[in-house]
Structure 1
Amino acid sequence: MYAAAPRLAGGSRTGLALGAGLLAGIALQLQQAALAVWWVYAVFVLLAPALYARVATKRIASARVQCLVLIAGLAFAWGLTGLRAVVFVNQALNPALEGRDVWVTGVVADMPQATEAGVRFRFAPEEATLDGQPVRLPALLDVGWYTSAYNAQAQLPELQRPPADVRAGQRWRLQLRLKAPHGSANPHGFDYELYLWEQGVQATAYVRATASAPVPQLLGQTWQAPVALARQWTRERILTHVADARSAGLLAALVVGDQRAIDRNDWDVFRATGVSHLVSISGMHITMFAWAATLLAGRWWRRSVWLCNRLPAAHAGWLLGVTLACAYALFSGWGVPAQRTCLMLAMVVFLRVVGAHWPWPWVALWTAVVVLMWDPWAMLQAGFWLSFVAVGILFVSSVATNSGAARADSTGTGGQNDQESGMAAPQRAWARFLHSVCGLWREQWVITLALAPLVLLWFGQVSLVGLVANAFAIPWVTLVITPLSLAGVLWPEVWTAATGAVALLYAALDGLAALPWATLNLPLPPPALGIWAVAGGVLLVLPLPWAVRAMGVMPVLACLLWRPPLPAEGEFSLLAADIGQGNAVLVQTAGHALLFDAGPRYSLESDAGNRVLLPLIKALDVQLDTVVLSHRDTDHVGGAAAVLMMQPQAALLSSIDPQHALQQLRKSSRCEAGQRWVWDGVDFEVLQPPAGAYEQQPALKANALSCVLRISNGRQTALLTGDIEAPQELQMVGDPYTASKLRADVLLVPHHGSKTSSTPEFLQAVQPRHALVQAGYRNRYGHPAAPVQERYAAVGTHLVLSPRCGAARWRSAEPQNVACMREDERHYWAHDVP
């Protein structure tokens, strides 16, 4: 596509230095834990152009000049990115409004997302009042309007009024309960706060829908969100005309970008077969759409002599193609990957129109600069790196292949053109077709091999059937399903044919995903090792001598063979996951692992098991030996089904009753005081409940039957307590044997810090150095209660709250420290919990 890179002149080297500096400045700013004051960034933004103007005009591009240009670009990008972040932060939700009922009048700004839990939508406030006084809100809110069925499941029975038919562009007057964006912070977990930051959302809320609350008021339909309204109308047509739910979900994702329409199980299939990039509005879809639109527009333009005299047909085709592609991206939701692709296409088209024959490193560099100056935080997204690494590899391999073919033809050794000249026309066409197929297969193989370390670095999973799956799925989805899906918008009957095509796709992918060796799951490596492995993977596919390529094998193998460090013999570690209102603690010894509780169920379609624990367990390469469920409450067993299904070897120890649904999945053993076992020199003992408590009449409530697990290596001790309350605490304190076992270095705070637990007598017996509170941010129960916090302070205990700490890790080898995820990996976009 572009000429091979010539020997760069001084001006070219200056351009490369400037582009590298801009990228380095953005990367450096994204590493900041906290933002500086605005004028610091402003100074860098103002002074950097002056420095560049002073040195970039030098005729001789010396190393000193290039260094100064790089510094100027770095300073400008660092300051501009920081200044944008400061402006955005200053528009955040006032903390004084959190938990308050605010009347807000505004417009539904995007296509609402219907779920089993209710409906979610983006809401653009126009005016807001609190107690009759006007207040300022962020420009965009993420609002949930829940059904009574969901809220009963989530223990919020006061929300009873079901949501109305919310449509994009509607103006509503709603009473909202506001909250700052707050997500869980776990190792290798999804950064929800960064996601909302990139979306421009600075507050979340839910509609106050109690029977006593004022009725939400629909004020009318506006035309402030016409594209979103058209998308919603199209999605409803798809769901109405397509009876098969799987097909309808995929078509809705391809046409309007509604990825929530795809079932979670189908996403598992797509990830296992490595085709997730095809079933959302990705860069490939938009690029193929642009290619087709360019071809058609160019042919149409050539039919008019008058038009061709005004603008060359090639230029017109490129411009119209990228314009139509951007329109498609806008209609599909204008997601971050779509924005990134449109900017890349615009950059390439601009270079073609102005006749700039840049070498591919220049194109890749300055396309990345344009994309990141538009959205600096895209640098933290996997899609950004996957896209640019893939494009760069294709450029290198295609340039090398074309150069080799040209040399072969010039010397007469290639012979392909000579051979084809003697062929009949059908034979030549067939030969060109085979050559194209082989080229596509080679490109897919090169991309798959080169990106495998990068995919492993981001996701901890590589599809071993991805090459075969993509060889079929890429042309099938791009050339068959997507065009049929789009044509159905104008002629719904076409969706019938699209449904058949989707059925064939699912049949092939289901078969591949069912293979026992379909995926390779490995622990997520440290970033430095992952980057080294990515460099090795790229080196393996570059058109270099094999002796040089072989140097890439070592870093790739190092990444594949890496395993997370485990406690030494006789030591153990605790990882209290950040799962909101609930308990989930991962315990590891040198050769064994135990999960104490499995967190809450968030909704009818989401729980802590699928959202937090399974990704964490997979990233750490953990095989559970035992799952302990302290008792049957939803905030302790909500994620257990997902964990047990993915960990079939794990035994289940619990106080749940014999009729509990989990018993059908895994028969449990009762936890009873006196049970004891030893793993790798570490002693595990159950202290509660007594065996007779299960038959006690009247029957004890679930909290009273909570399993209490003591873990000790003889030097350090941890006590995991579930939801025991004052009677159980006093019972253990009063029993001489149990009381002698209560002293602990770290304590999982009983009942999340409820006022009914953590009695003074119990705390005097335990005297913990650290106490872990697993509770949700601004939870409705007020956990941990203020009196409870005072009791822990009175005994000199370090209280660790999960909303402020995130995931907390404690090691018996370093008993004085508790590592907090939010503190160790601090970012300025993260919620600063008061």
Structure 2
Amino acid sequence: MFSAATLTSAWPRTVFAALLGVVLGTAVQLQQPVLWPAWVYIGFGLLAPVAYALAAPKRIAMAVTTAVVVLAGMALGVGSTGLRAVVFASQSLAPTLEGRDLRITGVVTDMPQRSEAGLRFRVAVEQALLDGQAVEVPARMDVGWYAGGYALAGEQIGLQRVPAEVQAGERWQLTLRPKAPHGGINPHGFDFELWLWEQGVQATAYVRAGDKDVPPQRLGQTWRAPVALARQALRDRILASVPDKRAAGLMAALVVGDQAAVDRSDWDVFRATGVSHLVSISGLHITMFAWGAAWLTGWLWRRSRRLCLALPAPSAALLGGVLLACAYAVFAGWGVPAQRTCLMLATVALLRLSGARWPWPLVWMLACAAVVALDPWALLQPGFWLSFVAVGVLFATDSGAARAEDTGAGGSKHGQSSAGLPQGRFAPLGGSALRAARSVGAMFREQWVITLALAPLTLLLFGQLSVVGLVANLLAIPWVTLVVTPLALLGALLPGVWDVASWAVALLWQWLAWLAVLPGAALVLPLPPLGLGLGAVVGGLLLVLPAPWHVRALGVPLVLLTLLWRPALPAAGQFELLVADIGQGNAVLVRTARHALLFDAGPRYSLESDAGHRVLVPLLKALDVTLDTVVLSHRDIDHVGGAAAVLAMQPQAALLSSIESEHPLQQLRRAQRCEVGQIWEWDGVQFEVLHPQPADYAANPLPKPNALSCVVRIGTGQRTALLVGDIEAAQEARLVQTWQGTDRLHADVLLVPHHGSKTSSTPEFLAAVAPQWALVQAGYRNRFGHPATPVVERYAEARINLVSSPRCGAMTWRSEQPQNVACSREEDRHYWHHHVP
């Protein structure tokens, strides 16, 4: 893979091995389910120099020396990352403070994010009081300040004072109710707890601003967050000055890195067309900014003879380009792609200024290790892998190697967002038509190389690949990089320019929207196992490397294995329940050999977020599930909140429900009423509706929605599951009376009625069902107290195993293995995950 300028001498090989070891050691430490004591990590750190000393050149064979240096680097990576994690974990929120009202004094450190529900912002805590006494809390909290009457998912906040205008850098005194970071843990799902850990947050909270609470108090502006304050001011100017909401959101994302300003539906189009990388502050944006800044710096520098005598104009241009590009990266949020690009730019600049000529693998690995040293948990971000693999591919192919000689320090990148290396010698604009044509051709070739090489990695990380991505990027990359982004930045000085930028965004959107609706625009595949996915990544790299055709052909079967892989399904006559971790609500996926049913669709979390978009749609895509039927037990928002997103994704699915004929969901899919006696069979598994009765729909007065909950029995003849929605004691008694003398109510596994409410799970009902397992879907520290303590005791007295989603995460039960319930929190446990006592 390495070309002429490879690691042939001792020092580059040794340095490369050490840096590689640090990255590998960090990756190993990130796999730990629990942390070791601090002294163990200190020991690993002390072991590193000892191992390196043993590998001194000329003492042992080259291969052994390299291996020992890698091990020394790994020891350093494990030790340093583990010690940082131990120190950070020691600052977590005390369990005794969860749910208590604290009076917090602190400074807003980041741009507040406003939505229809209210505000979210980060607070650096300066003082915390509980009943007037000082207490220790985490240094940073993620805070929500919700609007009047808003109900947070699973926790009623009550009538609130409308959130004030909060600015970065302000010092506030607030009454907060904190809790430990806790999010849903689902197969292939977003890890909310890791996301907060990476950002140094160990507590979430919401503002208590009701009539009986001490009012929030603004204490004044500080200079603790000047960059965030400037970013907020510019973002607010863009959103206020640009009438087109779509254009305003895109420009805010490009200028200040506020990706939350982009509408969710717009993100769907960006993903379908493979241009999501352009909406973030990517390596390409920073590279082009560096190129323009270097050209401008050099042009201005040459105007002064004195400056040129003090420092040659090319050197000044190089330094100016790197410094200004890094300043832009900081202003735009300093994400991982920005960090990597700035480190790469700085490394190349220093090497060129010093006259050194390092081989590209060493430059690449140095930037990689520097990013990992700065943020070890960046290794768990998809952007890290897409970014560095793209750079490595361009270096390893003639796209990057050909330019390595020009930079004297390892290549450059043109036309692909995830690379971001300096453009040759920052040559001034212009040149012959032939040279321009060659540059355009090189850009197209590089885009093709990157698209092909990253396709397997993209499928491994996201389970989706844009088929039209190559075509979309050929226009979108130069248009966003050379037109939209410069205009959006220039608009900060000349606001009238934003009107032109809006026009440019409108043209781009027409192009992308047309591509997004083409048949087969995006390829969605189930997420493969890690080993198979890594094999496909290797195959993709083999296909683009400058190697003999018979070597490159080896990549074809590796890629095809991943494309053809499908997840295992239950055998004929068996079924599986996947009880999703969606907070306070119900959502259960039932799969047989060739069919699937979704029982309820989870809650709506806020006015713009629900379990369908956040959990169920990604889960169904990752598992390659095509639903035959969606059952919505009743109309409550914690059961139908995500239904619209699921139904939009699954147009073929039939809808069975007790929702009224006027319900808004009826406009998306006409629902058939669920009524006792409905029976169907899939792959040897029988499904039967046990409740409600047809007469219940005509009762006067109409029963409460809970009383109309659909009850579905699923059985193989030997193993049975019972899904009951939010039925209460009266409906439980009726079921016991109706099916007395039969085995219709007996089940091996029961979805606990009404999330464990005191109004359900009567002793008579539990005796009739007599399950081995009872599964509770409830929100962590939900306001209802589900599952209620008396109900938990009732299950214990009946010797029924009670498993709850806050402790277990997503729960999986299979009819062929009825003695086990698999918990996602246990199977995918990491030390940053919250342990529920």
Following the alignment from structure 1 to structure 2, what is the Cα–Cα distance between the partners of residues 440 and 121?
40
Q: Secondary structure at the match of 2:436?
A: helix
Q: How does 1:83-482 map to 2 (within 5 A)?
A: 83-148=83-148, 150-151=150-151, 156=156, 158-398=158-398, 402=402, 429-482=432-485
1:510 and 2:520 matched: no
Q: Deviations over 1:779-812 (max 9, x none)?
A: 0000001111111111221111101111111111
- What whole-Å deviation, never above 9, does each CA across 1:107-131 have from its counterpart, x for those lacking one? 1111110111101111111111001
Q: Is the 8 A contact 1:10 1:60 kept in 2?
A: no
- Distance in 1 between the 2:649 and 2:257 partners? 30
**Shift, 1:137, TM fit:** 1.5
Deviation for aligned residue 1:533: 0.4
Secondary structure of the residue aligned to 1:81 is helix
Correspondence for 2:552 among 546, 549, 552:
549
Q: Match for residue 602 of structure 2?
A: 599
CA contact (8 A) 2:142 2:203 kept: yes
Corresponding residue number in structure 1 for 2:414: none
- Aligned pairs for 1:495-644 within 5 A: 495-644=498-647
Question: How many Å apart are 1:495 and its aligned residue?
Answer: 0.6
* Segment drifting more, 707-716 vs 735-744: 735-744
**Offset, 1:403:** 10
1:369-396 per-residue CA deviation (whole Å, 9 max, x = no partner) reads: 1111111111111111101111111112
Q: Which range is displaced more, 199-208 or 316-325?
A: 316-325
Q: After TM superposition, give the deviation of residue 65 of structure 1 in Å.
A: 2.4
Superposed CA RMSD in Å reads 1.9
2:719 maps to which of 716, 719, 729: 716
The alignment's TM-score, normalised by the length of structure 1, stands at: 0.95
Query: Shift of residue 90 of structure 1?
Result: 0.8
Deviations 1:735-793 (A, max 9, x none): 24585211111110000000110111111111111111000000000000111111111
Deviations 1:464-498 (A, max 9, x none): 11111111011111111111111111110111111
Deviates most, 295-304 or 263-272: 295-304
In the alignment, the residues of structure 2 paired with residue 193 and residue 157 of structure 1 have an alpha-carbon distance, to the nearest angstrom, of: 22
Q: Which of the numbers 661, 666, 682 marks the counterpart of 1:663?
A: 666
**2: distance between equivalents of 1:428 and 1:695?**
81
Contact 1:4 1:399 in 2 (8 A): no
Does the aligned pair in 1 maintain the 2:149–2:158 contact within 8 Å? Answer: no
| Cα distance between partner residues in 1 of 2:347 and 2:401 | 25
Quote the Cα distance in structure 1 between the aligned partners of 2:46 and 2:314.
40
Deviations 1:488-512 (A, max 9, x none): 1111011111111111111111111
Q: 2:421: which partner in 1?
A: none
Stretch of structure 1 that moved more, 429-438 or 49-58: 49-58
Distance apart, 1:223 and its partner CA: 1.9
Q: Could you give the per-residue CA deviations for residues 399-456 of structure 1, whole angstroms, max 9, x where no partner exists?
A: 68749999xxxxxxxxxxxxxxxxxxxx992322222111110100010011000001
Residues 273 and 513, structure 1, Cα contact 8 Å, conserved in 2 = yes
Q: 1: distance between equivalents of 2:728 and 2:656?
A: 20
Q: Distance in 1 between matches of 2:431 and 2:386?
A: 36
Q: Deviations over 1:18-67 (max 9, x none)?
A: 12211211111011110000011111212312332343354665333222
- 1:69 aligned partner, one-letter code: V
3-state SS of 1:505 partner: helix
Q: In the alignment, which of 786, 799, 803 is matched to residue 802 of structure 2? A: 799
1:251-309 per-residue CA deviation (whole Å, 9 max, x = no partner) reads 11111111111111110110011000101212221122122212222333334343334
CA distance in structure 2 between the aligned counterparts of 1:100 and 1:428, rounded to whole angstroms: 67
Give 1:312 deviation, angstroms.
3.4
1:679 is aligned to 2:682: yes
Q: Distance in 2 between matches of 1:31 and 1:351?
A: 35
- What is the identity, as a one-letter code, of the residue corresponding to 1:492? P
| Within-5 A mapping of 1:755-774 | 755-774=758-777
Summarize deviations over 1:678-697 as a string: whole Å, max 9, x none: 00000000111111111122
Give the unaligned 5+ runs of structure 2.
407-429
TM-aligned CA deviation for residue 332 of structure 1: 1.3
Q: 2-side partners of 1:569 and 1:3: how far apart? A: 54
Q: 1:682 to 1:6 in 2, by over 3 A?
A: closer
Identity %: 65
Query: What SS class does the counterpart of residue 490 from structure 1 fall into?
Result: coil
1:330 deviates by 1.5
- Identify the residue that residue 15 of structure 1 maps to in structure 2: 15
- Alignment-derived partner of residue 492 in structure 1: 495
Q: Secondary structure at the match of 1:104?
A: strand
- Which piece of structure 1 moves more, 69-78 or 199-208? 69-78
> Which letter does structure 2 place at the counterpart of 1:451?
L
**What amino acid does structure 2 have at the position aligned with 1:63?**
A
What CA deviation, in whole Å up to 9, does each residue of 1:715-734 have, x standing for no partner? 11000010001111111112
Distance 1:144 1:590 in 2: 44
Q: Which amino acid aligns with 1:308?
A: C
Amino acid at match of 1:617: L
Q: 1:654 to 1:647 in 2, by over 3 A?
A: same
Q: Is the CA contact (8 Å cut-off) linking 2:154 and 2:584 kept in structure 1?
A: no
Tell me which residue corresponds to 1:78.
78
Q: Larger deviation: 288-297 or 79-88?
A: 288-297
Distance between the aligned counterparts of 1:135 and 1:208, measured in 2? 18
Q: TM-score, normalised by structure 2?
A: 0.95
Asked whether the equivalents of residues 109 and 228 of structure 2 are also in contact (C-alpha less than 8 Å), the reply is yes
> In the alignment, which residue of structure 1 is the partner of 2:816?
813
Structure 1's 229 and 152: CA in aligned 2 closer, same or farther, altered over 3 A? Answer: closer
Cα gap change, 1:254 to 1:745, in 2 (>3 Å): same
Q: Contact 2:169–2:225 (CA<8 Å) still a contact in 1?
A: yes
Change in 2 beyond 3 A, CA 1:771/1:215: same
Aligned partner of 1:741 among 744, 765, 771: 744
* C-alpha contact (below 8 Å) 2:344/2:363 kept by paired residues: no
Report if aligned partners of 1:718, 1:745 keep a CA contact under 8 Å in 2.
yes
1:418 equivalent in structure 2: none
Partner of 1:422: none
Q: CA deviation at 1:579?
A: 0.3
Task: Give the residue type in structure 2 aligned to 1:477.
Answer: V
Cα distance in 2, alignment partners of residues 368 and 56 from structure 1 = 24
Query: Structure 1 residues 721 and 626 mapped into 2: Cα distance closer, same or farther (>3 Å)?
Result: same
Q: Aligned in 2, Cα 1:428/1:366: closer, same or farther, shift over 3 Å? A: closer
1:46 maps to which residue?
46
The alignment partner of 2:25 has SS state of helix
Aligned twin of 2:410 = none
SS at match of 1:489: coil
Check the 8 A contact 1:5/1:360 in 2, yes or no.
yes
Shift of 1:157: 5.9
Alignment correspondent of 1:411: none
